Structure 1
Amino acid sequence: MEPFAPGKIIPTCSGIPAKVVKYLAEGGQGVVYVVEYGGEKKAMKWYKDGALKNSDLFYKNLVKNAEKGSPDPAFLWPITATEQVDGSFGYIMDLRAEGYYELCDFTLAKVTFTSFKAATEACIRIVSAFRLLHNSGYCYQDMNDGNFFINPKTGDVRICDNDNITANKTDTFILGTPRYMAPEIVVSGGREKPNTQTDRFSLAVVLFMILCMNHPLEGKHWLVPCLTPAMEKKLYGSDAVFIFDKDDDSNRPVKGVHDNVLQRWKYMPSYIQDAFFTAFSKEAIHNPARRLRELDWLKVLVRFQSDIVRCPHCRNEVFIQDASDTRCDDCGRTVEVKHTLKLADYSITAAKGTRIYRCQLGACNADDALDRIGVIVSRDDDPNMLGFRNMTKDTFLAITPSGKQKQLKAGDVVPLKAGITLQLPGGKTIGIN
């Protein structure tokens, strides 16, 4: 059909008409327009004739998802489906804000994060969004580097292409995108269908690409004159090998070709490396039940974010090792760790802006994982004076080494002084050193 002209009125299932303002973009599946909807500028994706294998099933799922609503604000979720016009249909969604770039722009080095802390924040937000998606009974199905728009300064994320999302283990004739599909889908040739576990493999690929700027399966095996479909089936499916597999070095990164990942990997803390060892182990590649869950990722990512601090001498980002003084790899001077927080299983650096989440205090419900417990703040008149602010609605007890107790109500701050223990409801504690 011909493109919609400005002024064209499209009826929607909500009863609020959409008025076409202008053409915005186009992909293989559909065309995107800027529209006026309910007095606001929105985006409308309109499907091309013949783009969908089962348009009736797809349309019913789209209407249902719009009615149910988004599980997380990060998703550019369908606000409403349109009514069918001239044999096709579309849906209304929010416009992407300025300052966000596709993940592929980062992996191709067209855009860079302003800090590693921002990159880690992006990972946390992506994992959190998919945790809520999966907990709502959905499967994303087609995760790839075109789905994510990221703010390089803040790490804020917007997730698009949510029209393929459906109930877990529901067949909508969507298999995924090459390089991001789980190995069992690649090997089966489409007999295996996307589900929560295949999402989790794709999620691990996305996280590795954000942090290490390389595909986790593309090492030496990938360096051939021409990748045939049969070879790709082996590389990403039957013979997939993680480039840093502990027991199989046949697919290692090649110096001069994979320099980004070689440089980044050596600086990754051991617990981040261990998470990827597990996520891309041969057991996890071939047994979906062995893949890391969202809560597992959140635990290591929030820890990693806490361990990233600025060198006070040159402002380079430093990955603190074991919450102790660490040499800056840029200027060579020592970054002194003045205060630490002893959590359930490890200690972290207590620097201004450090956030403490529920998942860092031991076993927790997945829904509570990113509940903020506290944040490290500084005094306005003395930036070197740090304190712990209670970010919950509960009252903590601050206990000094001599046994004196003080209530720490919501929003209250206790100075960071060695020996103080914060006692939280439920028996959880945080030690200040």
Structure 2
Amino acid sequence: MSGMLDSGESLTTQRGEAIVVDRLLGSGGQGEVYRVTLPDGSAKALKWYFPDSATPRQLAIVEDLVSRDFDDDRFLWPTDLVVAGEGRFGYLMDVRPDRFRGLPELFRRTVNTSLRALLTACLYTVEAYQALHSKGIAYRDISWGNIFFDPATGEILVCDNDNAVVEGDSSGISGTMNFMAPELVRGDPGAMPGTQSDLHSLSVLLFMFLMNHHPLKGARELKIHCLDDAAERKLYGKEPLFVFDPQDPDNRPDPVEHATVTALWPLVPVSLQKLFEKNFTVGLHNPSARVRESEWRDALRAARDAVVECPTCGKANMTEPRTTSPGTCWKDGSTLVLPPRLVVTTPPPRTERHILLGRAAQVHRHHLNPEPKRHDYSADHLVAELVEHPQKPGRYGLANRSTTSWTASRSDGTTQQVGPGQTVPLRSGLTLELDAGVRAEVRAK
């Protein structure tokens, strides 16, 4: 595959670092991406703009993004500018590891993942954009094409960050049509891409993550004979209607053509359904009413903590957080059984985290924090996990994976110290004094 740059070509970054072009990795709407080698032998990715995209305004945007030095491992952020003459430039960023896959692969079912990993990816995506917005930067083009995720862990990477600008900057792109906020699609007077329009795009992305379907594509789309620009503007801007609008059924999914979303929507906890309904009803017409990142964050964390496995087929299911009515398994229709839950109570501002103690139950550091800035489900942040007794199948305990000792109190009044690496038997009424004044209690339901 040939491109604008040749293998072996030498370039110099704005900071004076010599780089050598290795090979073409791929291309997109604005340019091509190459793997390049630095003097120390390490590799970076170089995005090189097509001539019609290499405008003075785009150069200014990249210069500003590089100068911000936004250090966040969830973003393939521009780290240095590379200029090779008038109208020829690009920028360096980290190379995307092979374990990260594009969302089209998820939608085609060509990658294997898990329900917990999907919910984790949604949560991490929300927090990534929340971090960007907190810096006064709007992304402007949140879509399925700009997010990669690790199917095993749910970790995410945001690419194409050269679309981001300071909030209020109206230059450049407005987004991808089917992810754009309705007011931008219509071209309403004064409407500009920013954090409010990002919130609409983010909700579309979350819906597609979980439903494998667009929230505005239902019966109305099937009636369109030619899905041209005018038809798309009507569908996404002039007359947008949520496929599960509780008041208007005119755009319901077709049970045959849209079988996937028809089957998946009832499996989503009501708490998440309500947020989607809010964003795709009142939020379609009132940008200030859109669901904030903090609302998505709390609901997604609670939903992940409420995942349980079916007792007969073993498949993971979402249950409504804090419910006593578990429902039935999506796979075999068996009645789900709610396991005991660990209720973690944090110091002021007092919050409760309800974690169902199913087979894969774990407690992480963010569960102990009343207002975590970032959730992390990696092994490095593990505090406790459910383990089965090696000699007594069916008997479980909570293993201390932290670096501090716990004080465990049983319902009969006896106590014990649970050191790092030790396990306390799981019993209803068991209370644990964890780190920094955090208290946890095992409840039967």
> What's the TM-score, normalizing by structure 2?
0.85
* C-alpha displacement of 1:408: 5.9
Percent of aligned pairs with the same amino acid: 32
Residue of structure 2 in register with 1:378 after alignment: 387
Residue of structure 1 in register with 2:348 after alignment: none
Residue of structure 2 in register with 1:106 after alignment: 106
2:153 aligned with 1:143: no
Residue of structure 2 in register with 1:131 after alignment: 130
* C-alpha displacement of 1:422: 3.5
2:426 aligned with 1:421: no
Residue of structure 2 in register with 1:400 after alignment: 410
* CA distance 1:325–1:240, shift in 2 (3 Å): closer
RMSD (Å), alpha carbons: 3.0
CA contact (8 A) 1:374 1:388 kept: no
Q: Deviations over 1:322-379 (max 9, x none)?
A: 26665434345454434212355674421243244677679x4362566968442315
CA contact (8 A) 2:168 2:192 kept: yes
> Quick one: distance in 2 between partners of 1:411 and 1:170?
53
CA contact (8 A) 2:307 2:318 kept: yes
Secondary structure class of the residue paired with 1:98: coil
CA contact (8 A) 2:389 2:397 kept: no
* C-alpha displacement of 1:140: 0.8
CA contact (8 A) 1:419 1:432 kept: yes
Residue of structure 1 in register with 2:169 after alignment: 170
Give 2:176's aligned amino acid: T
Of the structure 1 ranges 82-91 and 64-73, higher mean CA displacement relative to structure 2 is found in 64-73
Of the structure 1 ranges 35-44 and 172-181, higher mean CA displacement relative to structure 2 is found in 35-44
CA contact (8 A) 1:295 1:366 kept: no
2:331 aligned with 1:353: no
> Quick one: distance in 1 between partners of 2:182 and 2:255?
26
* C-alpha displacement of 1:59: 2.2
| Number of residue-to-residue matches in the alignment | 428
Residue of structure 2 in register with 1:367 after alignment: 373
> Quick one: distance in 1 between partners of 2:245 and 2:189?
27
CA contact (8 A) 2:3 2:24 kept: no
* C-alpha displacement of 1:302: 1.7
CA contact (8 A) 1:222 1:235 kept: yes
* CA distance 1:338–1:29, shift in 2 (3 Å): closer
* C-alpha displacement of 1:70: 3.6
> Quick one: distance in 2 between partners of 1:401 and 1:168?
55
* C-alpha displacement of 1:29: 1.1
Secondary structure class of the residue paired with 1:146: helix
> Quick one: distance in 2 between partners of 1:331 and 1:110?
20
Secondary structure class of the residue paired with 1:22: strand
* CA distance 1:409–1:286, shift in 2 (3 Å): farther
* CA distance 1:91–1:139, shift in 2 (3 Å): same
1:278-427 aligned at under 5 Å gives the runs 278-282=278-282, 284-320=283-319, 322=323, 327-342=328-343, 344=351, 347-356=354-363, 364-365=370-371, 367=373, 374-379=383-388, 381=390, 384-388=394-398, 397-404=407-414, 413-423=423-433
Residue of structure 2 in register with 1:265 after alignment: 265
Residue of structure 1 in register with 2:233 after alignment: 233
* CA distance 1:64–1:397, shift in 2 (3 Å): farther
Residue of structure 1 in register with 2:34 after alignment: 33
> Quick one: distance in 2 between partners of 1:393 and 1:69?
34
Of the structure 1 ranges 261-270 and 353-362, higher mean CA displacement relative to structure 2 is found in 353-362
Q: Deviations over 1:242-268 (max 9, x none)?
A: 111111212111111111100000111
1:43 to 45, 48, 62: 45
Residue of structure 2 in register with 1:432 after alignment: 442
* C-alpha displacement of 1:71: 4.5
Of the structure 1 ranges 215-224 and 79-88, higher mean CA displacement relative to structure 2 is found in 79-88
Of the structure 1 ranges 349-358 and 177-186, higher mean CA displacement relative to structure 2 is found in 349-358
* C-alpha displacement of 1:191: 4.7
Q: Deviations over 1:104-160 (max 9, x none)?
A: 2323x1524432222212112211211211122221111111101223333232221
Residue of structure 2 in register with 1:21 after alignment: 22
> Quick one: distance in 1 between partners of 2:401 and 2:200?
34
Residue of structure 2 in register with 1:3 after alignment: 4
> Quick one: distance in 1 between partners of 2:327 and 2:230?
47
* C-alpha displacement of 1:226: 1.6
